[in-house]
Amino acid sequence: MTDDKINFHVDDNLNNGSTYYYRLQVEDGEGNVSILSPEVSAAPNPNAPADTTSITLGNLPTNIVATPGNAQITISWTPAGDGKLMHGLYWSNKEGITLNNTSKNNAFWDIKSPYVHSGLDNTKTYYYRVAVWDGFEIRLSKEVSAKPN
């Protein structure tokens, strides 16, 4: 992970029953590197019960609105999963945001509605998709856009 706004990592394509070991090391903006964290381990369990708040099409954020202001846009939405799921916001200056074409630098995580995206250029249009994460996958809402004024 290289983004200070991302505080989780999903390790997928694992083998059930195999044990995986992890250690964490962080680097700050000045290049200072921490010592390695203590080792932790986990093994995927194919018999684990399904998460009752997992993301479904009916469990995405709704009522997404982007309201322009001077050098800022306020994005508001109705949370998915009764507020039990982590929400984020992906943004771009280009239409058609996907998880594959948007930098992690253009994402804010663990945020609540409304969210104010400030320091923007009043001559550009900004596109947004609210993200929701259930611990296993990230899904994106419909896209909205606005231009600061």
CATH code of the domain covering residue 98: 2.60.40.10
Residue 28 lies in a domain: no
pLDDT tens digit sequence for 86-97: 888 999 999 998
- Does residue 104 fall inside a structural domain? yes
Is 23 inside a domain boundary? no
Specify if 18 maps to a domain: no
Counting the structural domains of the chain, the total is: 1
pLDDT digits over 66-84, tens only?
Answer: 999 999 999 999 988 766 7
Long-range pairs of 50-54 with CB within 8 A, sequence gap ≥ 24: 51/134, 51/135, 51/136, 53/81, 53/82, 53/84, 53/85, 53/134, 54/134, 54/136
Model confidence, pTM: 0.62
Q: Which of 35-39, 73-77, 108-112 has the largest mean confidence?
A: 73-77
Find the domain containing 62 and state its range: 57-146
